[in-house]
């Protein structure tokens, strides 16, 4: 029994110091001393999005940037609704707006993004989704994160949902924290295609989505793995945010969660191993109470809440006292969702 308790103590101490490492790594997320003036191609894949397009297109029209230095490319992924007529009409408004369609039988988000990027002409590619909104100052703010002397090959951004419940908002914030800390530690684990920026040269060097078309999901994470494998420079930026609208039904939300959390085997092996260790810690954590090791519980709670407070400050989100409770609950929620997501089938968007 003493050996078991000693193992629990060691695991808790090691994990708590790991959380402290993540906390300090967030201090590495900062703007360079000088920004750059870049050109951008905004590429968005659309499939049956007629109900989401009005707000997206309105936000794209309001982008405050020199029209000669950015373009918008909307790619219809063989929609069966009015998506293509809507984006085609939108593209007639300005010379830097374009509407494309994927060609049969090349269907899927990766094909659509690949086609849009191949059509584009500017230095950086901004990827987002049709259910998102980009602020008018997005590009100007993004320039501040690009060091002209050491230009990043990929920038991973933050994309919270509008009007989501407090717990769901917390989960999005922690997901962004994972993006930030692993990127700061030079081993980016994951990213979101809702707010992702690629340097064209680097995208071409990793051959884009080639070799990934057979996978239905993972357009963001699998592409990230290619960038990491080729040792490309990857940075994280907490702002500008891209706001996402949650318009899904409960059933659609569950299917989306299964898809997002069911990417364990898309994760690189080093993060799979670490994920197993993290899961092990949270399985033994309740034993600290049974063995009255309250000082270890207190030490862990201090480290995890330091991480939460720092990430709230970094992402300029309002502090809610309930987040300190969510910090205890969230790991078990993540463990449950990961098990369900990797064991239960899901459907891609129709």
Reference 159, options 50, 240, 64, 56; nearest CA is 240
What is the per-residue pLDDT across 203-241, written as a single tens digit (0 to 9) for each?
999 999 999 888 777 789 999 999 999 999 999 999 999
More confident residue, 276 or 25: 25
Over 90: is that where the pLDDT of 276 sits?
no
- Can you give the pLDDT at residue 253? 66
- Can you give the pLDDT at residue 249? 62
Structure tokens at 151: 């230009």
CA distance 12 to 238: 30
* Tally of residues, the chain: 350
The count of C-alpha atoms lying within 13 angstroms of the C-alpha of 40, restricted to the half-sphere facing its C-beta, is 26
> What's this model's pTM, rounded to 2 decimal places?
0.90
H or E element at residue 91: helix 83-91
What is the per-residue pLDDT across 288-321, written as a single tens digit (0 to 9) for each?
888 888 899 999 999 999 999 999 999 999 999 9
Q: Tell me the average pLDDT across 101-106.
A: 83
More confident residue, 262 or 230: 230
Structure tokens at 242: 């891209």
- Can you give the pLDDT at residue 35? 93
């Amino acid at each position: 029994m003493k050996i078991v308790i000693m193992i629990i103590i060691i695991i808790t101490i090691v994990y708590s110091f790991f959380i402290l490492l993540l906390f300090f790594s967030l201090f590495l997320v900062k703007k360079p001393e000088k920004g750059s003036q870049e050109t951008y191609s905004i590429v968005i894949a659309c499939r049956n999005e007629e109900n989401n397009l009005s707000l997206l297109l309105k936000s794209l029209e309001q982008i405050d940037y020199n029209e000669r230095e950015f373009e918008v490319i909307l790619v219809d992924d063989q929609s069966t609704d009015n998506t293509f007529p809507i984006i085609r009409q939108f593209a007639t408004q300005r010379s830097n707006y374009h509407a494309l369609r994927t060609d049969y039988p090349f269907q899927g988000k990766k094909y659509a993004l690949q086609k849009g990027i191949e059509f584009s002409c500017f230095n950086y590619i901004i990827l987002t989704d049709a259910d998102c909104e980009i602020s008018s100052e997005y590009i100007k703010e993004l320039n501040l994160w690009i060091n002209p002397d050491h230009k990043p090959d990929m920038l991973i951004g933050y994309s919270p949902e509008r009007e989501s419940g407090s717990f769901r908002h917390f989960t999005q914030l922690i997901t962004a924290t994972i993006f930030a800390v692993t990127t700061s530690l030079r081993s980016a684990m994951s990213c979101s295609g809702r707010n992702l920026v690629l340097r064209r040269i680097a995208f071409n060097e990793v051959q884009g989505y080639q070799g990934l078309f057979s996978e239905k999901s993972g357009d963001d994470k699998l592409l990230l793995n290619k960038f990491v494998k080729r040792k490309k420079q990857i940075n994280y930026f907490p702002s500008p945010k891209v706001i996402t609208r949650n318009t899904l039904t409960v059933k659609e939300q569950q299917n989306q969660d299964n898809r997002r959390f069911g990417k364990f085997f898309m994760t690189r092996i080093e993060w799979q191993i670490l994920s197993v260790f993290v899961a092990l810690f949270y399985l033994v954590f309740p034993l600290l109470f049974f063995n009255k090791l309250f000082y270890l519980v207190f030490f862990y709670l201090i480290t995890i809440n330091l991480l939460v407070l720092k990430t709230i400050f970094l992402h300029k989100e309002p502090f809610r006292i309930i987040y300190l409770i969510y910090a205890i609950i969230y790991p078990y929620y993540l463990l449950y969702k990961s098990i369900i997501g990797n064991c239960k089938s899901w459907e891609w968007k129709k």
